[in-house]
Structure 1
Amino acid sequence: MAPVLGNRRRRLIAVLTAVVAVALVFVVRLVFIQIVDAPGLNAQAEGNRSVPLTLQAVRGTITDRSGNVLAQSVQRYRVAADQTLAGDSIVQVDGKGQKWTLQQIIDRLAQITKKDPARIKSALEGNSQYSVVAQDLNADQYQELRALDIKWLAIEAVPHRTYPSGAVAGNLLGFISAEQQPQAGVEVLADSCLAGTDGKESYERGADGIRIPGTTVTEQQVTDGGTVELTIDRDLQWYVQQKITERQSELGAQWISATVLDAKTGDILVAAETPSIDPNDVGASKEQDRGSRIFQSTYEPGSPIKTITMAAAMEHSDVGPESQFQAPGSIAVPGTPHTIKDAWDHDTLNLTSTGILMKSSNTGIMQVGDKIDDATRYDYLKRFGIGEKSAVNFPAESSGTLAPVDKWDKISHYTTMFGQGIAATPIQVASAYQAVANNGVRISPRLIKSCTSADGTTTENPSAQPEQVIQPETARKLRGMLEPLFTQYVGKSAQIAGYSLAGKTGTSQIAGTNGGYLPNQYVNSLAGMAPAGDPRFVVGITIYNPATDKTSDNTMSLFHDVMAQTLITNNVPPATGELPEYAPTW
């Protein structure tokens, strides 16, 4: 019996040993799972049921100087589906659950979203856990979809950019992409204020795809964008845009721009141009019309530069408002085969400095410019902002073209006196005349007035540093010299009852891409101010390549309308006779 008992004992020990060994394997594995590999397994399990969400920040608002909204983001909605769960479902109808087939659900979704049922069906087929069914839905559609309470549908708020005034200031405002990224204009310029910070959160869902209550975790708070206030006057901008659009149709011009500056501050009240762009429908405009030519397009400014030449001569020579010159119809350029002519044929004229500006004589300003050296004239062009970007620093803004003085040859020595051989933007020309209007103090233009963040903190955008570019008395004399254009010459048609005006017209040729000038193609311009004695506003007009009426006279009616409306809008009292009268001839 002893051997039998021994065998049983050995078998029992072997069984117990095996059981213990198996138990130890399970224990070790349990320890490994619960302690060693627990973080990884937990993360994997959480990943299988955790759903990350991005909470889109609402882009900030752009307003005009009076708080009128020019651009804003409004809530639109997007509905997305988990294709792996899409199918027959319980749907809430009048607060009661009903079992609907997938086809019934598709038909109802199509009815609410106004989308093709076939496209909705396609969006529900597949293995994606996130498939967009419809987007750009309004609040009413959101409420109807939400009432259905379909568990495998998610309805998300999505900011949508809208421009309530359409094309008003559209070239300034710019636009954004479908991904809410700024593409042009103020949208780019002020993006640091307008752009918010997206929020991040996540939640867990069960096997049925339903959000588990109480599992939402906010990882980053959403911060909406701020409000940008512009210096623009929306209503005045609208008025001017209507006027330049009418004028473009009449003249067949390639484009027209009109700028209104506050003479005392440099603030831009109007920066209108046509063709314009409606940021709500960017595709409806040509690509070349989607920027702002006021800041981005250059041309040879022509005769408005004569005022800068005159200012330099008045401060660095014996030239005064009634200095006497004999202006022939043409002058041969010494040492070259070239001859410079006036825009009209004439015998020698006895013109004063005032008459040279009034009649816009090239041969007259050549004699004035020869009174001073090129380095001085170059310095004055720079002082008046020619050859440099404005303080606005508009996206893709051009600095124009002003060659260094050591690059001037015998021809450019003269052509720079009357605005050829250099290039400027409309805003540069208007800004130059702001200095004349403001007693010689130039303040580079300002477009953005302030930024108010989401928490209500307002940060002012200061005006550029004022610079005394000419003496106050020089500026006053220049205004007196620029007044006869409107009292004795072609500007009579632009007179505004009760107000004195001062300004300078220009007609310049359009340069070709391969050198030389394009035949019969011109730029007509006018920079003027009112009231002339103590100007409040400067208006700059640029008419590019008109098909008819190619003289600067074509700027007068537009200047009248824009300046008159500006004065009325801003309640500027009538003012005349504040300046000395200078004789244009002798």
Structure 2
Amino acid sequence: MRRWKRPEQAGATVRVWRLRLLAGATFLLFLLFGVRLFYLQIIHGERYAQAARKQHVQKVSLASQRGRIVDRSGQELAVDLPQYYTVGVYPSKMTPSEANHLCQRLADFTGRPASHYLRRMQSRTGFRYLEWRLSEEYADELKALGLQGVVLERTSGRFYPYDRVTSQLLGYTDIEGHGISGLEIYCDSVLQGAKGWETRQRDGSGISFWDPLGGFTAPQDGGTVRTSIDIIAQEMLCQELDSALASTQAAWVAGLLVDPRTGEIIAMASLPDYDPRRPDAGDKTNHKMRPLTELMEPGSIFKIVAAAAALDQGLARPTDIYDCEAGAWRIGSRVLHDSHPYGLLSLEDVVVHSSNIGTAKIADQIGPRELYRYIVRFGFGTTTGIEFPGEGSGLLRPWDTWKDIGRANIAIGQGISVTMLQMAMSYAAIANDGILMEPRLILDWTDAGGQHHANPPREVRRVMEPETARLMQQILAQVVKRGTGRAAALDTVTAIAGKTGTAQLPNLETGGYYHNRYMASFIGFLPAHHADRVLIVTVCDPKGAYYGAQVAAPVFRRVLTRLQPADAVRRSWEAEPADLVEIPACFEAADSAAGEADAPALAASGLSLSNISRTPPAAKPDANPHRVPDLTGLTLREAVRRLTARGIRASFSGSGLVISQSLTPGEPVVKNSSCIIIASSEIPVDSVATGGPDTPRPPQSRKSGRS
């Protein structure tokens, strides 16, 4: 008989099976978890550990600062400062109207078309940089717009304290700090530092913090490059070139100042220039450093080659006579003309009066092969090796391709192309008693590791005998005294030696030359004997007057007139400007010995050592750059520095310490205005000993400054 289970027993059995199934399922689940964990932790554990570290641990790059570029006395010309803002956007977070508004505002700031930024925003990438080197003022205006998707990042940027004055010389960098042009690209390997890194961890909330156990490498800043540029001379040259550009309405003007004894470039500029903060704006041709890159036919300033060759070979003497054919001389089927109908002229007067016919006859006397040899010895037809990218080599055809009229044209500076630097160095060879030096733009540098490297002067070759060079110095001094260069003469007793030049501009489209467009130049050195300055000034395509004597020689005179007082003060110091870093205040005894040694040079410039203050006073605060400074009691050096820093031209009367000035202290600065400084060595003792808080006092140290 079948036995039926009671309901209580049946229910218990079901519960037992359920518990068994649940336990089995739980066991299987844990088994699966165990297998998965074994797979993840043991088999692929390292792979997923690395992925986790990437999410929570970062190796962050630490930026380094780009190195400095300084002038010969240590004044900063280019330096990295945390002053700029970079603008980026997420285009997907902006409406079309907001995007148009942002691009238009950026165009107003930078001068670029708004379409430039709109094209960048149309990129498919999620984030796009639109602009860098944006000032804090402009960044604040963008923040005030309140636009979604705009990102402003404060970054270190390249700062050029002298702005346009050094723009072509220094060049500029890109957003990543790499040099693009000028010295910035030439010295990029020295200026570029090495980035560092550090390890950072990020918690679950996304907050990042430094991991001290993760490793660290400090960034290494770039090195320092010291140039041969004297920033005071650079500013004065730029100011005078700017005036010449405005008065002549020329296509461009340029100037170059060099020390013939060492080849050091003291100042170099051309106008128009460009804004280094906005290098993409404006005409790209204004980026060119024309004294080094622009090829030109030199005209009459090239006539010194034929004259020097004839004298050096003993083929002629300064008194030898040449028939200048009353201003017209037929050579084959062509007729060579002079600007004036000269008759018989000595070799000296051929150069003094710049006779084309006389120079051509001197070239005939030398012969084409020997003339070519001297042209090459002067350094034409090849680059000089200066530390600057893009230097031109000029164009010099082989001597056996010259025809009769071609030989005459080359002797008078047509049919050959040169650079202003080549011309300056050729005159420097004459001023340096016949020795051609290699031009130098970099005096020394310190690399990122702190190691110092010197760049000493280098002699290229002897171009002519010392006696020949001294004869040429005398002849060129007569050019300024009684010839075509009278407009370059200074108002002091200092003798100038130099030469004017006017050349027709070649027509590159149709061939031949323009009949109404000219290249006007003046090049000279001072003093005429034992010179320490060679200056060339070139004016391209001036409107109105176009002779070198009319438009270039006056610029030469104004530049050197302004430079002479600063040069005199510099020569009265014991050390060279490059060495004046920290000199004790009690330097009078050591300084006096050097001053006596330099007395002849000062006398040649019309100044006396007794009239130059030996203990310049401590500089008063120079707080407001938009107001005319109070110069009373300052040295000429410091007064010039403060005026030129504000764009004010300085003129001098007297020497010593400043006792009065034509502009009222505290007035708003007017760019390119002039200030006459009256200086005197007679400073009342009581004004120094018992004056007020602004009383000049002996300094604790004498800084190098700028001169």
**With structure 2 as the length reference, what TM-score do the two structures score?**
0.66
Letter in 2 for 1:547: K
User: Structure 2 vs 1, CA of residues 189 and 440 (structure 1 numbering), >3 Å: closer, same or farther?
Assistant: same
Deviation at 1:20? 9.7
Tell me: CA distance 1:321–1:217, structure 2 relative to 1, closer, same or farther (3 Å). farther
Residue matched to 2:501: 506
> Match for residue 548 of structure 1?
544
SS in 2 for 1:305: helix
Out of 361, 368, 380, which is 2:362 matched to? Answer: 368
- Aligned match for 2:481, one of 460, 481, 487: 487
Give, in angstroms, the shift of residue 516 of structure 1. 0.6
Partner in structure 2 of residue 48 of structure 1: 55
Q: Kindly tell me: are residues 256 and 398 of structure 1, through their superposed partners in 2, closer, same or farther at Cα, counting changes over 3 Å?
A: same
Query: Which residue of 1 is the match for residue 181 of structure 2?
Result: 184
Is 1:58 matched with 2:68? no
Name the SS of the counterpart of 1:41 in structure 2.
helix
Q: Which residue of 2 aligns with 1:395?
A: 389
Q: Distance in 2 between matches of 1:79 and 1:420?
A: 50
The correspondence for 1:330, drawn from 328, 331, 353, is: 328
The alpha carbon displacement at 1:35 in A equals 3.6
SS of the residue 1:365 aligns to: helix
Match of 2:528 in 1: 532
Deviation at residue 29 of structure 1 after TM alignment: 4.8
| Match 2:468 to one of 456, 469, 474 | 474
Q: Does the 8 Å contact 1:268/1:446 carry over to 2? A: yes
Structure 1 residues 409-418 or 286-295, which shifts more?
409-418
State the Cα deviation string for residues 418-439 of structure 1 (Å, max 9, x = none).
Answer: 1111111111111110000000
Q: Given that residues 174 and 291 in structure 1 are in contact (C-alpha distance below 8 angstroms), is that contact kept between their aligned partners in structure 2? A: no
Q: Following the alignment from structure 1 to structure 2, what is the Cα–Cα distance between the partners of residues 164 and 561?
A: 25
Distance (Å, rounded) in 1 between the aligned partners of 2:373 and 2:88: 67
SS in structure 2 of the partner of residue 51 of structure 1: strand
Match of 1:263 among 255, 260, 265: 260
TM-score normalised over the length of structure 1: 0.79
* Gap regions ≥5 residues in structure 2: 1-21, 94-120, 144-149, 569-600, 606-707
Q: 1:25 to 1:277 in 2, by over 3 A?
A: same
User: Structure 1, residues 167-199: CA drift from partner, whole Å, max 9, x if none?
Assistant: 122221111223323221111111111111222
Q: Please, which of 506, 515, 519 is the counterpart of residue 519 of structure 1?
A: 515
- Indicate the SS of the match to 2:81: strand
Q: Aligned with 2:73: secondary structure? A: coil
- The separation in 2 between residues aligned to 1:130 and 1:325, in whole angstroms, is 73
Deviation string 1:393-429 (CA, Å, 9 cap, x unpaired) is 4222211111222332333222111111111111111
How far residue 44 of structure 1 moved from its aligned partner, in angstroms, is 1.2
Q: 1:339 corresponds to which residue?
A: 335
Candidates 296, 304, 309, aligned match of 1:299: 296
Counterpart of 2:697?
none
Change (3 A) 1:32 1:307: same
Q: Return closer, same or farther for 1:134/1:493 CA change in 2, 3 Å cut-off.
A: closer
Amino acid in structure 2 at the alignment position of 1:405:
W
Q: Aligned pair in 2 of structure 1 residues 130, 437: CA closer, same or farther (>3 Å)?
A: closer
The aligned amino acid for 1:48 is Q
1:171 aligned onto 2:168:
yes
For 1:246, the aligned partner's letter is S
Alpha-carbon contact 1:449-1:460 (below 8 Å) kept: yes
| Mapped pair 1:570 → 2:567 | yes
Q: CA deviation at 1:355?
A: 0.6
Q: Please, which moves more after superposition, 270-279 or 208-217?
A: 208-217
Letter matched to residue 549 of structure 1: A
Distance in 2 of aligned mates of 1:132 and 1:472? 61
Task: Provide, for residues 492-548 of structure 1, a one-character-per-residue CA deviation record: whole Å limited to 9, x for no partner.
Answer: 332221111111111001111132112310011111111112111111111111001
- Look up the equivalent residue of 1:38 and give its one-letter code: G
Match of 1:486, SS state, is helix
Give the equivalent residue in structure 1 for 2:402: 408
Q: CA RMSD in A?
A: 3.5
Are residues 309 and 44 of structure 1, via their aligned partners in 2, closer, same or farther at CA, if it must alter by over 3 Å?
same
1:539 and 1:562 in contact (8 A); partners too: no
* Partners of 2:470 and 2:379 in 1: CA distance: 19
Q: Are residue 465 (structure 1) and residue 471 (structure 2) matched?
A: no
State the AA in 2 paired with 1:282. P
Distance change (3 Å), C-alpha of 1:60 and 1:18: same
For the 8 Å contact 1:201–1:219, the answer to whether it is kept is yes
1:73 to 52, 68, 80: 80
Partner of 2:315: 318
The equivalent of 2:195 in structure 1 is 198
Matched letter for residue 58 of structure 1: Q
Distance 1:500 1:77, change over 3 A: closer
Cα distance 1:218–1:235, how it changes in 2: closer, same or farther (>3 A)?
farther
Distance 1:223 1:362, change over 3 A: same
Structure 2 equivalent of residue 381 of structure 1: 375
Offset, 1:163: 0.9
Q: Is the 8 A contact 1:75 1:160 kept in 2?
A: yes
Cα separation, 2, equivalents of 1:552 and 1:190: 36
1:308 CA displacement: 0.9
CA distance in 2, matches of 1:133, 1:543: 36
Which has the bigger relative contact order, CA under 8 A and spacing at least 6?
1
Task: Describe the shift of the 1:285–1:450 C-alpha distance in structure 2 as closer, same or farther (beyond 3 A).
Answer: farther
- Given the alignment of the two structures, is residue 229 of structure 1 paired with residue 226 of structure 2, yes or no? yes
Q: Residue 433 and residue 69 in structure 1: after superposition, are their counterparts in 2 closer, same or farther (change >3 A)?
A: same
Give the distance between the partners of 1:78 and 1:234, measured in 2 at CA.
28
Distance 2:337 2:135 in 1: 65
Q: How many angstroms does 1:357 deviate by?
A: 0.5
Please give the secondary structure, in 2, of the residue aligned with 1:532: coil
Alpha-carbon separation, structure 1, partners of 2:455 and 2:292: 19
Question: Are 1:350 and 2:341 counterparts?
Answer: no
**Is 2:330–2:336's contact at 8 Å kept on the other side of the alignment?**
yes
Instruction: Tell me the SS of whatever aligns to 2:174.
Output: coil
Deviations 1:435-471 (A, max 9, x none): 0000001112111112123454321223333421111
Tell me what 1:97 maps to: none
